[in-house]
Amino acid sequence: MKVTPSAIADVLVIEPDVFGDDRGFFFESFNQKKWLEQTGLARTFVQDNHSRSVKGVLRGLHYQIQQPQGKLVRVVLGEVYDVAVDIRQSSATFGQWVGVHLSQENKKQLWVPEGFAHGFVVLSDVAEFLYRTTDYWAPQHERCITWNDPELGIKWPIEYHPQLSDKDSKGASFKDADLFM
């Protein structure tokens, strides 16, 4: 497993060791001991989520203001552009974002720490996305920042208006969002 800090050092790109031949491939998608040794992050993962979306769907930017979730995310089918936004007011990278292409081909994973808003847009015809989280889903604490907030200036690799859920279409602006200290 190779662990590389992104442009925001707390957000990590994880590349598994993949063993493959003409029959297919094998890799460990998660190993607690290796995770701790290579990231230094003592996290307990308590919930796994799996979503399927079609091309042009954008989910996010989501977070929980209480019971914040760290997320280890990956794509098992298709391709997405995945984004993490630092919404910790005390952070040197507050308001900055990082984006990474995750796909079934590159098998990369992204560690999105607690205190970040998270979202992705589907670039392939369909994508299946897995989330491993450090806390349970708490809908009463869930918040959403609008995907196209001009203050954040996220450069999504799309030239069309994405498909959004009702919740995501009503996301708060960054300046009006509930944020972490």
Amino acid letter, residue 152 = L
Task: Please give the helix or strand (H or E) that residue 63 lies within, else none.
Answer: strand 58-64
- Cα separation, 84 vs 120, in Å, equals 9
Q: If you count them, how many residues does the chain have?
A: 181
Contact between 16 and 28 (Cβ < 8 Å): yes
Active-site annotation, residues: 62, 131
- Cα separation, 58 vs 158, in Å, equals 10
- Cα separation, 57 vs 75, in Å, equals 14
- Cα separation, 24 vs 34, in Å, equals 24
- Cα separation, 21 vs 45, in Å, equals 31
Under DSSP, is residue 33 helix (H, G, I), strand (E, B) or coil?
A: helix
Task: Return the number of other C-beta atoms located less than 10 Å from residue 162's C-beta.
Answer: 18
